[in-house]
Amino acid sequence: MAEPKELDLEIPPELAGVRVDKALREMAPGISRTRLKDLIERGFVMVGGRKVLRAGVPLAAGDRVKVVLAGRTHIAPTGSIAPIRILYEDRDLAVIYKPAGVASHPNEGCAPGSTVADALVERYGSDLPVTQGEDRPGIVHRLDRETSGVMVIARAPGAMGSLRAQFKARTVSKEYRTIVRGEPRFDADRIEAPIGRDTVTGGRMTVAKDGGRASETFYEVLERFTGFAYLRCLPKTGRTHQIRVHLAHLGLPVLGDRVYRTRAAAGVSLPSDAPPVHRQFLHAFALAFDHPSSGERVSFEVEIPEDMRAFLGWLRAARR
- Which range (59-63, 119-123, 164-168, 189-193) has the least confidence? 119-123
Any residues with CB less than 8 A from the CB of 248 and at least 6 apart, and which? 254, 257, 260, 261, 262
Whether the domain at 73-169 and the domain at 170-293+304-320 fall into the same CATH topology:
yes
- Contact predicate 45/86, CB 8 Å: no
Q: How far apart are CA 51 and CA 57, in angstroms?
A: 11
Architecture of domain 6-68: Roll (3.10)
State the amino acid at position 291 in one-letter form.
H
More confident residue, 139 or 105: 139
**Which of the residues are catalytic?**
144
Q: How far apart are CA 282 and CA 20, in angstroms?
A: 40
Reported confidence tier of residue 3, pLDDT bands at 50, 70, 90? very low
Query: What digits encode the pLDDT tens for the residues 249-286?
Result: 999 999 999 999 776 666 678 988 999 999 999 999 99
CATH superfamily of domain region 73-169: Pseudouridine synthase (3.30.2350.10)
Predicted confidence at residue 69, as pLDDT, reads 79
Q: How far apart are CA 105 and CA 142, in angstroms?
A: 8
Q: How far apart are CA 4 and CA 294, in angstroms?
A: 36
- Contact predicate 274/314, CB 8 Å: yes
Phi/psi at 114 (nearest 5 deg)? -100, 0
- Give this prediction's pTM: 0.74
More confident residue, 36 or 195: 195
Would the pLDDT of 123 be above 90?
no
Domain ranges for the chain = 6-68, 73-169, 170-293+304-320
| Mean pLDDT, all residues of the chain | 87
Architecture of domain 170-293+304-320: 2-Layer Sandwich (3.30)
Query: What digits encode the pLDDT tens for the residues 210-251?
Result: 888 999 999 999 999 999 999 999 999 999 999 999 999 999
